Amino acid sequence: MPREPLPDDDRESRVAIAGHPLHAMMVTFPIAFLMSVAATDLAWILLEDDFWARVSLWLVAAGACTGLAAGLAGTVELLLIPGVRRRGVSWSHFIAAVTLISIAFTNWFLRLAGPVEMILPWGFLLSLLGAVMVGVSGWLGANLVFDHKIGVVEDDGD
């Protein structure tokens, strides 16, 4: 159920380029990278081609690093916008995102010891857990945008 929107100064992005929220632009990269890790792990399991283990290593590294950057932009938004801090879903999104980034870095560091040897069972399980957490964090983030209108500038019709 949509909530009554907050005043613009309580929901407009503080970290933006030409009015476009930087956090929203940045999250697309870790989402794509971290969702792909489970697929490349599965490709390694099915095909037994070490190429896929190396791809997984690079994808999880890219997902962890771009996720950290996107998370920093989101954290600044959380701290600077009073309307964001007042919403419980903001804190749930923050916790889910920090959990996701922690899983991604753990998965990456685990694989550094041996990209092939670490896929089963822990690498693949962490990849699946990461994919689930992408969904949880994304759902909560979308709730902030679509239901609470955080980061949305509405046209007055002028």
Residue 157 lies in a domain: no
Contact 6, 83 (CB under 8 A): yes
Residue 155 lies in a domain: no
For 28, counting Cβ atoms within 10 Å of its Cβ (0-12 exposed, 13-18 middle, 19+ buried), the class is exposed
Residue 154 lies in a domain: no
| Residue 112 domain boundaries | 8-146
**Average pLDDT over all residues of the chain:** 90
Residue 152 confidence (pLDDT): 73
Residue 48 lies in a domain: yes
Residue 73 lies in a domain: yes
Q: Where are the alpha helices (H) located in the chain, listed in sequence order? A: 22-26, 28-47, 50-80, 82-85, 88-112, 124-146
Residue 155 confidence (pLDDT): 64
Residues of the chain with pLDDT under 50: none
Residue 119 confidence (pLDDT): 96
Residue 156 confidence (pLDDT): 61
b (16+ CB within 10 A) / e for 3-16: eeebeeebbbbebb
Residue 98 confidence (pLDDT): 98
What are the pLDDT digits (tens) for 101-126? 999 999 999 999 999 999 999 999 99
Helix (H, G, I), strand (E, B) or coil at 12: coil
- Count up the domains in the chain and report the number: 1
Residue 98 lies in a domain: yes
Residue 156 lies in a domain: no
Place of tokens 């040897």: 117
